[in-house]
Amino acid sequence: MLIDWFTVGAQALNFLILVWLLRRFLYKPILSAIDAREKRIETELADADAKKAEAQKEREEFHHKNEEFDQQRTALLSQATDEAQAERGRLLDEARKAAEALSSKRQETLRNEAHNLYQAISRRTQQEVFATARKTLADLAGMSLEERIVEVFVRRLHELNGEKKKQLVSALKASPNPVVVRTAFDVTPAQRSSTEGAIKETLGMETQIQFEIAPDLIGGIELITNGQKVGWSIADYLASLEKNVNELLKDTDKPEVKAESKSEKPKSEAKQ
Amino acid sequence: MRLSPDEMIFWQHGFLKINATIVFTWGLMLTLAVGSLLITRKLSKELERSRWQNLLEIVVTGMEKQIGDVGLRHPEKYLDFLGTLFLFIASASLCTIIPGYEPPTGSLSTTVALALCVFAAVPLFGIEAQGIGGYLQSYVKPTVIMLPFNIISELSRTLALAVRLFGNMMSGAMIIAILLTITPFIFPVVMTALGLLTGMVQAYIFSILAAVYIAAATRTREGKLEPEAIH
């Protein structure tokens, strides 16, 4: 007999025991290990996804911040540039103004100096001329300078030609004020009456005459009415002299001023 | 000449006896259990793992996949039974390369015991899956007339399982034994290699047939539902 029933039972039992043993030592541990690994891989993948998403988010955030920073930097830079430009302009303006002020002050000083010099020269010349004329007249005619002045004035009145005389007459007629005769000195009654006579004779009309003393005329006499003037004074000659001197000084000043102005500013006031 | 290792008895006390079949089976059980224990004792749950663990994982997941391919849902539920069938028969065949070893599956007692286990397991899994009523009803389908034929089929396929495995394993062992007496060189080696192949094929056939029987027993209701679902 090929079948031994005890062996059959024993083998069936053995097989069942083997099933239990393998279940205990093989299938369960292996399957649980595989499950754990799969779970772990799933978790890691999920983690990786989350990290990736986070990294992406951070990247975008960083990118955004970078752009913002760039914009801010550009804005700040442009602002700083603008401010620097404005500051530069302001400083240049200030420097220009200061230079202009300095230049004008210097020119003013120069002008003042020149003016003072002219005045001194004028005064001195006037005084010299006055003294010379006085001495000369006194030596020559033996009369005072004032008398000679009044004589000259009277002669001038007589010598007035038609056009000038007409203007003077119409001015006198139009003016309600009396005729003013200004002299640099105190006129004597004789001189006064000769002057009044000459005026009346010249103009051919009765008019009230007022005498005034004006020291600035420097040895002169003049008739003034309503804008018209007839007279003689050293001041006139001196004015002419002054004019000539001025022109002379201008001619001598010009090159100097030009040379100075070149070093400071090309368009300075060279005419001064 | 011995046809079965049953005849080689080491110890006997009345009905009780310890023969070569039982001893070799114990040896296989010990090897399988201790080997599994040694490998699974320090299982790695990380991505890095030992090559032995890798081998076992391939074997276990491969068996699980085969069971699933047969059509059983939840293959891990049947893995204990079907997987052990395959591993026992396969290792019994594989060990034939060891001189002096005789496969316990070359004993009709062992194959009958395994077939009886399948014979018992099929209704158990069937009842678990669809209840005792549902399982018993599968015997009278499509008509009551089929009841005796179904019962005969149940018995005959169990017998066929036992005899097929026994015949193949015994014949392999016998051929090698005969060839060793006739041409001791080369041919036994070739036949041993062939025996390994047929042993593996038999292990596969036995466990796949068992899986198919279990699947048939557990899928009766599902099979009935499927046409309705289609219509």
Q: pLDDT value at position A245?
A: 67
Query: What gap in Å lies between CA B170 and CA A2, rounded to an integer?
Result: 11
- Do B103 and B92 touch, CB atoms closer than 8 A? yes
What is chain A's mean pLDDT, rounded? 81
Mean pLDDT of A164-172: 78
What is chain B's mean pLDDT, rounded? 87
* CB atoms B83 and A22 under 8 Å: yes
Asked whether the CA dihedral B52, B56, B59, B65 is positive or negative, the reply is negative
- Do A31 and B56 touch, CB atoms closer than 8 A? no
* Residue A176: DSSP 8-state: -
Q: pLDDT value at position A191?
A: 81
Does residue B228 carry a pLDDT above 50? no
Q: Which residue has the higher pLDDT, A180 or B122?
A: B122
If you measure CA to CA, which chain A residue comes closest to B26? A14
Among A18-32, A108-122, A129-143, the minimum mean pLDDT is found in A129-143
* Residue A52 vs residues A37, A39, A43, A57, A59: alpha-carbon distances, Å: 22, 19, 14, 8, 10
Q: pLDDT value at position B207?
A: 94
Tokens of A144: 């005072």
Does residue A144 carry a pLDDT above 90? no
Does residue A176 carry a pLDDT above 80? no
Task: Please give the backbone phi and psi of residue B141, each rounded to the nearest 5 degrees, phi first.
Answer: -115, 145
Of B33, B56, B109, the CB nearest to A30: B56
Query: What gap in Å lies between CA A104 and CA A100, rounded to an integer?
Result: 6
Among A41-55, A92-106, A217-231, the minimum mean pLDDT is found in A217-231
Would you list the DSSP string of chain B? Answer: --SSGGG-EEEEETTEEEEHHHHHHHHHHHHHHHHHHHHHHT---SS---HHHHHHHHHHHHHHHHHHHHT-SSHHHHIIIIIHHHHHHHHHHHGGGSTT---GGGSHHHHHHHHHHHHHHHHHHHHHHHHHHHHHHGGG-S-TTHHHHHHHHHHHHHHHHHHHHHHHHHHHHHHHHHHHHH--SSHHHHHHHHHHHHHHHHHHHHHHHHHHHHHHHHSHHHHHHHHHHH-
Among B21-35, B36-50, B94-108, the minimum mean pLDDT is found in B36-50
Q: pLDDT value at position B152?
A: 93
How deeply is A155 buried, as exposed, middle or buried, from its count of CB atoms within 10 A (0-12, 13-18, 19+)? exposed
E strand or H helix at A92, and its extent? helix A28-141
Q: Which residue has the higher pLDDT, B48 or B230?
A: B48
Cβ within 8 Å of A, B 52-81: 53, 56-57, 60-61, 76, 79-81
* Residue A122 vs residues A127, A128, A221, B143: alpha-carbon distances, Å: 8, 10, 19, 161
* Residue A123: DSSP 8-state: H
Q: pLDDT value at position A242?
A: 66
Per the omega criterion (within 30 degrees of 0), is the bond before B5 cis? no
Q: Say yes or no: domain A143-247 is CATH 1.10.8.
A: no
How close, in Å, is residue B47 to chain A by CA atoms?
A: 7
* CB atoms A23 and B80 under 8 Å: yes
* CB atoms B80 and A17 under 8 Å: no
Helix (H, G, I), strand (E, B) or coil at A218: coil
Query: What gap in Å lies between CA B42 and CA B19, rounded to an integer?
Result: 35
Does residue B143 carry a pLDDT above 50? yes
Mean pLDDT of A169-187: 77
* CB atoms A11 and B21 under 8 Å: yes
Q: Which residue has the higher pLDDT, A146 or B140?
A: B140
Q: pLDDT value at position A238?
A: 65
Among A31-40, A105-114, B47-56, B207-216, the minimum mean pLDDT is found in B47-56
* CB atoms B56 and A26 under 8 Å: yes
User: How do residues A190-221 score in pLDDT, each as one tens digit?
Assistant: 888 888 888 787 777 777 788 888 777 766 78
- Do B109 and A7 touch, CB atoms closer than 8 A? yes
Q: Which residues of B touch A4 (CB under 8 A)?
A: 6, 19, 109
Question: CA-based Rg of chain A, rounded to a whole angstrom?
Answer: 60
Helix (H, G, I), strand (E, B) or coil at A241: helix
- In the Cβ-directed half-sphere of B158, how many Cα atoms lie within 13 Å? 19
Among A178-187, B6-15, B152-161, B180-189, the minimum mean pLDDT is found in A178-187
Residue A150 has a CB neighbour count (10 Å cut-off) of 24
* CB atoms B26 and A16 under 8 Å: no
Query: What gap in Å lies between CA B217 and CA B127, rounded to an integer?
Result: 8
Q: What residue type is assigned to position A224 of the chain?
A: I
Mean pLDDT of A97-104: 93
**Among residues A163, A196, A182, which one has the least CA distance to residue A231?**
A182
Q: pLDDT value at position B117?
A: 95
Q: Determine what percent of chain B is predicted with pLDDT higher than 70.
A: 94
Q: pLDDT value at position B67?
A: 94
Q: Which residues of B touch A5 (CB under 8 A)?
A: 109
Query: What gap in Å lies between CA A112 and CA A106, rounded to an integer?
Result: 10
CB contact, 8 Å: B6 with chain A?
A: yes
Cβ within 8 Å of A, B 159-188: 166
- Do B103 and B96 touch, CB atoms closer than 8 A? yes
If you measure CA to CA, which chain A residue comes closest to B162? A3
Complex ipTM value: 0.89
Does residue B226 carry a pLDDT above 80? no
* CB atoms A37 and B113 under 8 Å: no
Q: Which residue has the higher pLDDT, A94 or A178?
A: A94
Of the ranges A151-160, A203-212, A230-239, B154-163, the best mean pLDDT one: B154-163
CB contact, 8 Å: B46 with chain A?
A: yes
E strand or H helix at A56, and its extent? helix A28-141
Does residue B136 carry a pLDDT above 80? yes
Q: Which residues of A touch B107 (CB under 8 A)?
A: 2, 7, 11
Does residue B6 carry a pLDDT above 50? yes
Q: pLDDT value at position B87?
A: 95
Helix (H, G, I), strand (E, B) or coil at A151: helix
Checking A168-173 for CB contacts under 8 A at 24+ apart, the result is A168/A203, A168/A225, A168/A228, A168/A230, A169/A203, A169/A204, A169/A205, A171/A225, A171/A226, A171/A227, A171/A228, A172/A203, A172/A205, A172/A207, A172/A225, A172/A226, A172/A228, A173/A205
Which sequence spans correspond to the domains of chain A? 143-247
Q: Which residue has the higher pLDDT, B33 or A156?
A: B33
Q: pLDDT value at position A219?
A: 66
User: How do residues B166-219 score in pLDDT, each as one tens digit?
Assistant: 998 888 888 888 888 888 788 888 888 888 999 999 999 999 999 999 998 887
Of A7, A25, A33, the CB nearest to B33: A25
Helix (H, G, I), strand (E, B) or coil at A209: strand
- Do B203 and B93 touch, CB atoms closer than 8 A? yes
* CB atoms B44 and A33 under 8 Å: yes
Banded pLDDT at A262 (limits 50, 70, 90)? very low
Q: pLDDT value at position A103?
A: 92
User: How do residues B59-97 score in pLDDT, each as one tens digit?
Assistant: 999 999 999 999 888 898 999 999 999 999 999 999 988
If you measure CA to CA, which chain A residue comes closest to B55? A30
* CB atoms A22 and B22 under 8 Å: no
